[in-house]
Each structure stands twice: as C-alpha cells, then as structure tokens.
Amino acid sequence: MAGRLCAAALLLLLVLAPRLFAPAFRLLAEDGAPAIYDQGSLLQLTLDHVALVAGSTAASAIVAVVLGVLVTRPSGRDFLPLSRTLVNVGQVFPPVAVLAVAVPLVGFGLEPTLIALVLYGLLPIFENTVAGLDGVPAAVMDAARGMGLDPRRRFLSVELPLAMPLILAGIRLSAVINIGTATIGSTVAAKGLGEVILAGLGTGNTAFILQGGIIVGLLAVLVYDALGLLEARLAARAGRA
C-alpha cells in the first residue's frame, strides 16, 4: 500500500508541479536545453493519454468479450479458429504498421491511434474470456440446470461471474500494454505523453525522454495494481459463491 501511495504521489507531482524536479532533470539537459517539458501541459497530456488508453481498452473489451461469448456457445464453436485468426491480426502487425495503413484511410490524429490500440488489445481479452467461460466446472453447470435455470440465466448468474476474474485479468494486461503503446500515437498527431518523448528524441534532450517515460511507467504500475485489486476481489467473491 505504501508503495502505491508513493507512486501516486510522485505521479501527481510530476504532472502538477514538474518544476520541483528541475534540478534533477537539469543534469540530463545539455547545451542549455530546458530541463522540464514546456511545450504543453503535462497534466493535459497525461489526461489525454489516459483517455486514449481507456477508450481503446473499453472498445477492445467489448469486441473481445462479445466474440469470446459467441464462440463458447454451442452454436458458435465452429467459428473459434476464425475468431482467433481475427484477433491475432493486431499482434501479427505491429501498431506502427497499423498506423501506416490507417492514416491514409482516416487521416491523422486520434482515429488511427484508436484503431491500432483496439486491434492490439483484442488478443489477451479474447483468450481470457474463452478460457474463463470454458473453465467453469461442469458440476456447477449441472447444478444450475438442476435448479431450472434457462441458458440466459445460467450465463448471467453462473458462467459470467465465475469467468469475470479471468476476463478482467485480460483487460488489465491489455490496458497496461496499451499505456506504453499509446505513445506512438504522437507520431500521427494524437495527443498524449508520446509528445514529450518525441520532443526529447527530436532534440536529443534526455530530460524530456525521461520525464515522459517515468510518467508512462507510473501510470502503468498504478493501473496494473488498481485492476489487480479489483480482479482479486472478484475472484474472492466468485470463490465464496
């Protein structure tokens, strides 16, 4: 708990009062270059980054969970290989390649970055959804049938709650991966912390690169921990049930 609080406090200070760290970052700035990123608000860029990741992860979760549910039903089993092929597209083609294809179609900015992140985030959520639903014990399902539950109620009251911790683990992995991957969106003019890192790379300013990298890293750690706590609570609740 203390570590999480320290990480959260450090993140807040970095985005709200970055000048406090100027003496440390000045050691990395050469030839009189600015030690603190001053081409935009770090707070706003962080909020834009979080919104981008949240939106793309939510879209990935909706698509992957729905697809995972469909292929674990008796009528959809035959489509499991095809579904796996589709969700693997985001892993086969790196996000940079997806951006290169998407930009001519939808233009620069937020849209191509969302497309790349949504595709990249599908696989872990889909596979965990399938594993979670297929992993529900047969004895539990037999008991639900014996209680007279119809397929819809069995799914909502038994299968989905038991599978939810594993589904959330896939969402957590997808979100954490996309926190880092979203930085590439700045190459196509999407707002986010990639702007800070790209500014550092473009000017050879290591201080900027480190600022952006630290904020992205702290975000990933805090999101991973927060979703992990939620996952543990759901697993405990499912165990009690």
Residue 97 pLDDT exceeds 70: yes
User: Which amino acid belongs to residue 15?
Assistant: V
Most confident range (mean pLDDT) of 109-113, 154-158, 185-189, 216-220 is: 216-220
The CATH class of 43-240 is mainly alpha
pLDDT-based confidence at residue 239 (cuts at 50, 70, 90)? low
| pLDDT tens per residue across span 41-92 | 899 999 999 999 999 999 999 999 999 999 998 888 888 888 888 888 877 7
DSSP label at residue 39: S
Q: What is the mean pLDDT of residues 101-125?
A: 87
Distance CA 87, CA 127 (A): 9
Instruction: Please give the structure tokens belonging to residue 177.
Output: 């991966």
Q: Which of 28, 188, 186, 222 is nearest to 197 (CA)?
A: 186
Half-sphere exposure of 78 (CA within 13 A, CB side): 1
Residue 238 pLDDT exceeds 90: no
Instruction: Please give the structure tokens belonging to residue 88.
Output: 């693997």
Q: What is the mean pLDDT of residues 11-16?
A: 89
Residue 195 pLDDT exceeds 70: yes
- Classify residue 15 by burial, with Cβ atoms within 10 Å: 0-12, 13-18, 19+: buried
Which pLDDT does position 29 carry in this prediction? 74
- Classify residue 43 by burial, with Cβ atoms within 10 Å: 0-12, 13-18, 19+: middle
> Where are the domains positioned within the chain?
43-240
